[in-house]
Amino acid sequence: MKILFVHQNFPGQFLQLAPAMAARGHQVLALTDEKNNRPSKVEVMRYKTPVEMDRKPAGLARAYAEYTERGWMAARGCRALRDQHSYTPDVIFGHSGWGETLFLKEVWPEAKLLVYAELLYQTSGHDVGFDPEISTGTLESRVTTVARSAHLIQGLVQADAGLAPTEYQAGTFPPELRNKLTVIHDGIDTDKVKPAKDAWLRLPDGRELREGDEVISFVSRSLEPYRGFMHFMRALPEVMRARPNAQVVIVGAEGVSYGAPPRMAGAGRPRS
């Protein structure tokens, strides 16, 4: 088959799958943003990055406008593949998070469209209202969350099927859409990600940590409230009193990837 993967940060979640499909003999191609220079094991084509809109919609319409604009740029890239390179995929597998899959059925109506349904935003106990300290669940925040979900719902409605990596993530979608989803974990390369007896880590002060050392670690893409970093830091004094010989290692970027930044005055993040 001809399989087209679509992801603005390709390979993203398709890091293992796309090369595996190529290894099975399928013709695999990826479409991504022109500014994405991540290495790929399969052939990559690029669409133009959406330009800054002269008149940005205000308020609730802004996110949807940005996602549909990216969807349009991805669709234009696919139209060029069709018209200039006579390319027609049998299957399109795209991440729906940024709107890239929204219009692809209009370019290739006969292709089967599969979307990677990573998560649907929730207005209670999830994106909003799960921790009163950082998310109070006001009407404004709930309405904004609903508005930000529009392109995700539209993307799954248009797709022939969707894939979610875990039952938890699939469960964020309502029953009428959940029925379209199959749960298949992304997979872990256990040849690479496994214990190593000779592994070691040198700390900034020159000390080295090796197997058998008592280590407490916090590893996250960003050290932000959404990922519970502040709770980890608050728990450390009590933990260190109980385990005074433990070495704490924190790995993560400063700044915020998801959710809001900390609101506490002077809330900083240690450098690791």
Over the stretch 111-147, which tens digit does the pLDDT of each residue have?
A: 999 999 999 998 887 778 777 777 777 888 889 999 9
Over the stretch 84-105, which tens digit does the pLDDT of each residue have?
A: 999 999 999 999 999 999 999 9
Nearest-angstrom CA–CA distance, 225 and 39? 31
144-158 mean pLDDT: 95
- Say if residue 54's pLDDT is above 70: no
Give the residues across from 164 on adjacent strands: 183
Identify the band that residue 269 occupies on the pLDDT scale cut at 50, 70 and 90: very low
pLDDT at 37: 95
Nearest-angstrom CA–CA distance, 189 and 45? 26
| Domains, in order of start, for the chain | 2-183 (3.40.50.2000), 195-272 (no CATH)
CA distances from 226 to 13, 127, 167, 171 (A): 21, 9, 20, 19
Tokens of 237: 């004094």
- The mean of the pLDDT values for the chain is 91
Q: Where does residue 161 rank: exposed (0-12), middle (13-18), buried (19+ CB within 10 A)?
A: middle
Nearest-angstrom CA–CA distance, 246 and 223? 21
The per-residue DSSP string of the chain comes to -EEEEE-TTTTGGGTTHHHHHHHTT-EEEEEEETT-----SSEEEEEPPPPPPSSPPPTTHHHHHHHHHHHHHHHHHHHHHHHHH----SEEEEEGGGSTTTTHHHH-TTSEEEEE------SSSSSSSS-TTT----HHHHHHHHHHTHHHHHHHHHSSEEEESSHHHHTTS-HHHHTTEEE------TTTSS--TT-EEE-TTS-EEETT--EEEEEEEE--GGGTHHHHHHHHHHHHHH-TT-EEEEEEESS-SSSPPP-STT------
Write the single-letter amino acid at 193: V
Query: Do residues 229 and 257 lie in contact, with contact meaning Cβ atoms separated by under 8 Å?
Result: no
What's the whole-model pTM score? 0.84
Nearest-angstrom CA–CA distance, 147 and 63? 8
pLDDT at 271: 39
- Residue from 22, 1, 5 nearest 13 by CA: 5
